[in-house]
Structure 1
Amino acid sequence: MRVLTKSRFKLGLECPNKLFYTKKEQYANQKVNDAFLQALAQGGFQVEELARMHYPKGVLIEGNDWDYERLAEQTKILLLQENIIIFEAAFLIDNLFIRTDILIKHGNNIKLIEVKAKSYKPSNDYTFIGKKGSLVSSWKSYLFDIAFQKYVIQLVYPGWSINPYLMMANKEAKASIDGLNQMFRISKQADNRTGIVKLESDISKLGTSVLGKVDISQAVEGIMTDKYKFHDNMGFVESITLLKEAYLEDRYYNWPTSYRACKSCEFKTTDAEENEGKLSGFKTCFRKQHQWTDTDFDTPNTFDIWDFRRGEKLFSEGVIFKKDITPEAIGYKEEAGKLSRTERQWIQIEKNINEDNTCYVDVDGLKQEMTSWIYPLHFIDFETSTVALPFNKDRRPYEQIAFQFSHHTYHEDGTIHHASEYINNKPGVFPNFEFVRQLKKVLAADDGTIFKFAAHENTIVNAIYEQLLDSDENDKNELIDFIQTISHSKRNSVTTWRGNRDMVDLCEVIKKYYYNPYAKGSNSIKMVLPAILKSSAFLKDKYSKAIRDIKVSSKNFDSNYIWLKIEDKEVVNPYKSLPKVFEDWTEEQIELSLSEIEDIADGGAALTAYGKLQYTNMSNQEREQLTSALLKYCELDTLAMVMILEYFKNELVI
């Protein structure tokens, strides 16, 4: 039985063509295996379980997930009661199907509660409807989701009065117990589905709730009366009808392509997936609507141009290929002393068109920048976590947790040390203040220039600065002074500062003076490093040798480890070569483990691993394996920055 569910409705609002591709094995879907999205989804499970605990008399309808009629019938029987609370209530009518998170019935008065692992501040009067009277874009899809639920329920029960609410994390509330997050364990069920194990069933033992319930009747009413539209040319009821018909007929909708939507489309194939015969929804749309051939797909297009703010306008004018773009079309402007945004875009466009894989380098600018650096150079990387349900007492939802750093030093004579590292792997311990103490200890010994990659590290120390202001730590003033020395204040900070050792953003250095075509417009270190390795004879020669032979110390890898592996004359991305978490474990040991993490090669996996380390009943052996994998991953992040510096120094600025 094909039905338009609320998730399919939301997907169809993003782009109706996606309804044709979703849940089809032959089409690739890049959101399915996204580690960061999976981490967010797990937070959603936990918030939902805590929300249910607010209603201990609630009845859960579970099982038979794809038997829509049976689920709706179970719900109908329960709703014969005058007063009842139902979790996962199901409603089916005219091939529309929904399940509600929490439904509270008092006669004909209904509270429809949608639970989300998002956050809000009760003091903000403009969370959902902005100051100009329109829906806040970041909430739009959630509000349409709830409007769809209300619409379907109202069709089934026209006489009901339905009031919609959102229940989510209250960023102004504090946890009143330690380990709140770990009261809800993510686990795999026998059928390989994700489930939750609750360690506590009495909500009174969880202290003050960090969840809040918000009435969203005004926003939902505006959606249902077409005051607020998702697409300007489509009303709410009309969108439901059209999307339902297209999905039931399994028909390609032929919704017009657009730069923004197609650029972020998840139905694209990787090279490996194409080789396996997977289909690309992106390519299907462009074949059908633009009559693209294989040659067109091989022709450089505008979708990967870095920070391309004119992409939407040019796309609407029919300019999709880079060969059709002029400098005037992108608003080309030069800036003294560095690459402007549009200069960088134009370099990318020209090199792509001309199949020129040589790097652009502003040698003079880079050299001048490098002469301002003070040795020894320090390279730092943080691993952090934000969760809806706090790990520690007195912490708020989505408050920054800094649990790990790695630190490499580069001396003027070229000596490289993995100088220090810090990790907190103890459950129930708030790490931030000790994190800063350890950072201060290793960075305050000299005046050397400190490097980060992107803005993250500055954001984190600003967050810890605010936490320290609110704390009663004995050394808070010393730690605050240190933070102000190595950072700059964020825009809305009450106090403003820029430290004399304000961290140098190596990513910004790259943006100003260097462009590598192999990075394909990206400035992420996960793309920049492999691109530079592909271009650098020096790095390939040096790091394809064992650690013992290159005189680069390591705290986590033995002397036989080789950072760069060459396969088919190509460098393997070192992040993909990192050892598996449980590489030497037996299948039985892995089966008994709590973490269910295979490898740590990106930030999403790292924050998930930290969450699992908060389990108090994890064995010491498993805790050590996870900790070791985190340390190795973070060490590579700072070594990657060192490699970039070595490339600059030994091949570009000689």
Structure 2
Amino acid sequence: MTDKKLISKSSYLIYRQCPKYFWYYINDRKNIPEFDQRAKFNFKIGHIIGNLAKLQYREGVEASSEGSLEDNIEKTKALLESGKPVFEAGFMAEAGSKIKHAPVRIYARADILLPVDGGRQWDIIEVKSSAGVKAVNITDVAFQKYCYREAGLNIRNCFVMHINSNYILNGGIDPFGIFRMTEITEEAGKIIPHIKNDIRKMAEIMEKNEPPVTEVGKFCGSPFDCPLKTVCWENIRETSIFYLNSLNRKTAKRIVERGFRHMHEIPEDFPGINYKQKIQIDCAKNSECWVDKTAISNFISNIEYPLYFLDFETFSSPVPLIEGTRPYQAIPFQFSLHIAESPDSIPEHHAFLADGKGDPRPELSIALRKKFGFSSGDDGRAFKGSLVVYNESAERAILRDLAAFNSRNGGWIFKISSRIIDLYDPFKNFYFYSVSQKGSASIKKVLPALTDKNYSEMAIKNGDIAGINFLSGSMLWKNFITLNNLDNLNGRHNIEEDLQDQAEKEELLRFNLEQYCKLDTEGLYHILEKLKKLAI
């Protein structure tokens, strides 16, 4: 049961993002939608990164407890006397505010508390799986320091231990090389004076019977995707001002202060509205799509057949799993390729999906080279046609890494890269716009706006989830988990049934991955065909 008079570090960060979410977290947690697959995987990653960080302090002692918060706090007090680094040290203190005459308590738990000056002072080390320090990390540590100080602990300095993006895997994981330490004592100190007032406001929200009225906004997805977002945005219309492309805070404030909630309410001469936003407003007022036929026609004129519609799927991990790779390096494991030989031909589909047993790049490179019709060592000089992608920066980066991975691929990869046509451009530049896109040029919004195809019925709906599904089901990941003693075999009562169930899940996963990636390149073909008709 949730203690309605306790403010934890997690609840404080939630409050800073959204007071409404905070109210639900304290008073009605059962009605908060379940975290999505991406968030759940990130939780697992955080646990793994935390355990790796502890390897820097092998003399450290663990204060975490399977029991109550009180058990954790009592264990922490005992371990502080050891003068050793303490993991998951928990502290509770009274915050000064009250709810119905009862004092509000605050609680925080440190990833690592490091003793200094013979244990008379302590350094806070917050471990993060990101490749740098984020604003939310500073707020996180500031609350910890405030809580520990109120509990009587003498804190000297504050640090964030985060991933070293320049680290390259060479043999086993080096727990020292994979991390960087950044001091944030001064930055955290600037936030601490505001925490007491924040707690007072939080106490007021906690004792209310209803959640505070909170408008939607960019904060719904920053610093984290709020699980209430789907609920709060459910009835937001396509013409809402919140869907204006690249709307800055200053202009948004002026619009709201004038009482406008929908694009069609905004006057033509409203200051601060840019060209793309004006197109959106006109579409909302006229209930029709915007089409710049000349710009679309000029774009299409640069396309040369045969056409190669290409899309990659990649996975990345804060802990590199493949020798010679970096943290968060995008590793391609799948591609889909539709080839249209002429304007009248039906595109032929080709695909590759790695087995997940090792580095997927060698086999993927060979399969891609063959599908483009090149032989081993071919310099690609004879290649004709256009390589059609969506958001070329991502595909170029993958192709560039594949060329660097094996120099024999350099010639043909350079050639096909030189003939890229980015189908994202017409929508990024608003040659076409429909209100159903909600201000977005993502293929997930553009495809259903132009055609009768969409991703709503797909088991896998975006690239992040595709990468997570492949990675978590791969032997690369499973071997890493086993090697680091992170697996849990409790409850495996029937190994044969488990293996059969696992095989069925893997077969279904591969099918879902193939269908998702196929729709990406099939979608590119249908979008281009629709643009051709719009240009007439």
TM bracket (short chain): 0.7 to 0.9
CA contact (8 A) 2:283 2:434 kept: no
Cα distance between partner residues in 2 of 1:377 and 1:330: 43
Give yes or no for contact 1:381–1:406 (8 Å, CA) kept in 2: yes
Task: Report the equivalent of 2:268.
Answer: 327
Aligned counterpart, 1:567: none
Letter of the 1:104 partner, please give it: L
Residues 497-512 of structure 1 mapped to structure 2, 5 A cutoff: 499=418, 501=419, 503-511=420-428, 512=430
- Tell me, in whole angstroms, the C-alpha distance in 2 between the residues paired with 1:214 and 1:367: 51
Q: Is the 8 A contact 1:174 1:208 kept in 2?
A: no
- Determine the structure 1 residue equivalent to 2:490: none
For the pair 1:638 / 2:498, whether they are aligned, the reply is: no
Q: Is residue 137–residue 160 contact of structure 2 (8 Å, CA) maintained in 1?
A: no
- Partner letter of residue 380 of structure 1? L
Per the TM alignment, residue 420 of structure 1 is displaced from its structure 2 partner at its CA by 2.3
Q: CA deviation at 1:117?
A: 0.6
- CA separation of 1:28 and 1:331: change in aligned 2, threshold 3 A: farther
- 1:167 and 1:71, CA in 2 relative to 1: closer, same or farther beyond 3 A? same
In the aligned structure 1, how far is the partner of 2:52 from the partner of 2:297? 55
| Shift in alpha-carbon separation, 1:527–1:300, aligned structure 2, 3 A | closer
The equivalent of 2:443 in structure 1 is 525
Q: Quote the offset at 1:379 in angstroms.
A: 0.7
Check the 8 A contact 2:239/2:438 in 1, yes or no. Answer: no
Gap runs ≥5 in structure 1: 121-127, 129-138, 181-205, 225-234, 274-279, 284-293, 333-341, 488-498, 535-563, 565-572, 579-598
Match of 2:281 in 1: 349
Name structure 2 gaps, 5 residues minimum. Answer: 95-104, 373-379, 483-498
Q: Is the 8 A contact 1:100 1:113 kept in 2?
A: yes
Would the alpha carbon gap of residues 307 and 216 (structure 1) be closer, same or farther in structure 2, given more than 3 Å must change? closer
Q: Which residue is equivalent to 1:83?
A: 83
Q: Report how far residue 69 of structure 1 moved.
A: 2.9
Q: Judging changes above 3 Å, is the alpha-carbon distance between structure 1 residues 255 and 146 closer, same or farther for their aligned structure 2 residues?
A: farther
Deviation digits for residues 243-278 of structure 1, max 9, x if unmatched? 4423543477969868544687847564xx6xxxxx
Are 2:186 and 1:218 equivalent residues in the alignment? Answer: yes
CA distance in 2, matches of 1:380, 1:319: 45
Amino acid of the structure 1 residue aligned with 2:279: I
Q: Does 1:439 align with 2:368?
A: yes
C-alpha change, 1:632 and 1:237, in structure 2 (3 Å) is closer
CA shift for structure 1 position 608? 1.0
AA matched with 2:189: E
The residue number in structure 2 matching 1:287 is none
Aligned partners of 2:211 and 2:196: how far apart in 1? 14
1:276-307 alpha-carbon deviations (Å, 9 max, x no partner): xxxx4x79xxxxxxxxxx9xx76943011222
Q: In 2, distance between residues paired with 1:377 and 1:479?
A: 21
Query: What's the offset of the Cα at 1:634?
Result: 0.8
Give the whole-Å Cα distance in 1 for the aligned partners of 2:212 and 2:78: 41
Choose the corresponding residue for 1:156, options 136, 151, 154: 151
Distance 1:27 1:610, change over 3 A: same
CA offsets 1:363-403 (integer angstroms, 9 cap, x no match): 33322322321111111111112210011122221122122
Residue 41 (structure 1) aligned with residue 9 (structure 2):
no
Shift, 1:25, TM fit: 4.6
Specify the SS of the correspondent of 1:22: helix
Determine which of 53, 56, 61 is the counterpart of 2:55: 53
SS at match of 2:252: helix
Tell me, in whole angstroms, the C-alpha distance in 2 between the residues paired with 1:486 and 1:29: 48
Amino acid at match of 2:92: L
Alignment correspondent of 1:388: 318
2:260 matches 1:306: no
Residues 72 and 260 of structure 1, relative CA distance in 2, 3 Å threshold: same
Equivalent residue of 1:308, what SS?
A: coil
Count of matched residue pairs: 485
Does residue 103 of structure 1 match 2:97?
Answer: no
Q: Which residue of 2 aligns with 1:607?
A: 467
Superposition deviation, residue 635 in structure 1: 0.9
Distance 1:154 1:117, change over 3 A: same
Please point out which of 342, 361, 364 is paired with 2:294.
Answer: 364
Distance in 2, matches of 1:350 and 1:305, equals: 12
Partner residue, 2:10: 7
Q: Deviations over 1:175-195 (max 9, x none)?
A: 2236x5xxxxxxxxxxxxxxx
| Matched residue, 2:398 | 461
CA deviations on 1:177-226 (whole Å, 9 max, x unpaired) are 36x5xxxxxxxxxxxxxxxxxxxxxxxxx6864123333333333444xx
Aligned-pair identity (%):
25
Does structure 1 residue 412 correspond to structure 2 residue 422?
Answer: no
CA pair 60-140 structure 1, distance change in 2 beyond 3 A: same
2:442 counterpart of 1:516: no
1:145 aligned onto 2:28 = no
Code of the aligned partner of 2:12: F
SS in 1 for 2:280: helix
Structure 1 residues 29, 104: CA separation in 2 closer, same or farther (over 3 Å shift)? same
SS at match of 1:112: strand
Cα gap change, 1:56 to 1:23, in 2 (>3 Å): same
Aligned equivalents of 2:32, 2:441: Cα separation in 1? 24
Partner in structure 2 of residue 241 of structure 1: 199
SS in 1 for 2:388: strand
Residue 415 of structure 1: how far off its partner (Å) = 2.1
Letter of the aligned partner of 1:602 in structure 2? N
Letter in 1 for 2:269: E
Once the two structures are overlaid, the 10-residue window that deviates more, 398-407 or 13-22, is 13-22
> What is the CA–CA distance in structure 2 between the aligned matches of 1:482 and 1:24, rounded to whole Å?
60
What SS is found at the alignment partner of 2:128?
Answer: strand
Per-residue CA deviations over 1:425-472 (Å, capped at 9, x if unaligned) read 23332x34654454344345631111111245345236517x81xx6x
CA contact (8 A) 1:58 1:86 kept: yes
Distance 1:363 1:320, change over 3 A: same
The letter of the residue matching 2:140 is: D
Contact 1:409/1:417 (<8 A) preserved: yes
Query: In the TM superposition, what whole-angstrom CA distance separates every residue of 1:498-556 from its partner, at most 9, and x where no partner exists?
Result: x3x1x22212123442112322222211122222234xxxxxxxxxxxxxxxxxxxxxx
Q: Distance in 1 between matches of 2:529 and 2:188?
A: 56
SS state of the match for residue 328, structure 1? coil
